[in-house]
Amino acid sequence: MTSRNTARRPLTELQQAILNCIWSKRAATSEQVREALRLAHPLKDSSVRTLLRRLEARGYLSHQVVGNTFVYRARIPASGVAARAVRHIIDRFCSGSVEQFLVGMVDEHVISRQEINRLARKVKKQK
């Protein structure tokens, strides 16, 4: 059973690399993940399997047994993980205020006022 804190903890660079690999392949075995990460993150197969199990326990992955092999798939699309990461940033640095976060994004020239206005129009249309 995962605790609320475990599920909300941000992903490490290595966990993110594993998810990126699985998103790009749509499904992957531990060996395929290990091979894809080999140059940037040389890992033992047992380490990759442990990381995959932990990501599964946190709800990011699921697996299916094909023969004797676990095949992992993402349970959450990349956009969902990105939204969780942004929520974490908003909670941690902006006291939970989305408005404060967006104002900071505009003030720091990360996003323009025009982009904010365009997004506001899209949100209004969806209501």
pTM of the model: 0.76
**120 to 44, 81, 104, 105: CA distances (angstroms):** 47, 22, 16, 15
Element (H, E) at 116: helix 113-126
Entry field: residues in the chain: 127
Q: Which of 2-16, 17-31, 66-80 has the lowest mean pLDDT?
A: 2-16
Per-domain boundaries in the chain: 4-74, 96-127
pLDDT of amino acid 5? 43
4-74 adopts what CATH topology? Arc Repressor Mutant, subunit A (1.10.10)
pLDDT of amino acid 7? 52
Q: What are phi and psi of 11, to 5 degrees?
A: -75, 145
pLDDT-based confidence at 9, cuts 50/70/90? Answer: confident
pLDDT tens, 79-125? 998 998 899 899 999 999 999 999 999 999 999 989 989 999 999 99
pLDDT of amino acid 127? 72
Q: What are phi and psi of 51, to 5 degrees?
A: -60, -40
pLDDT tens, 25-78? 999 999 999 999 999 999 999 999 999 999 999 999 999 999 999 999 999 999
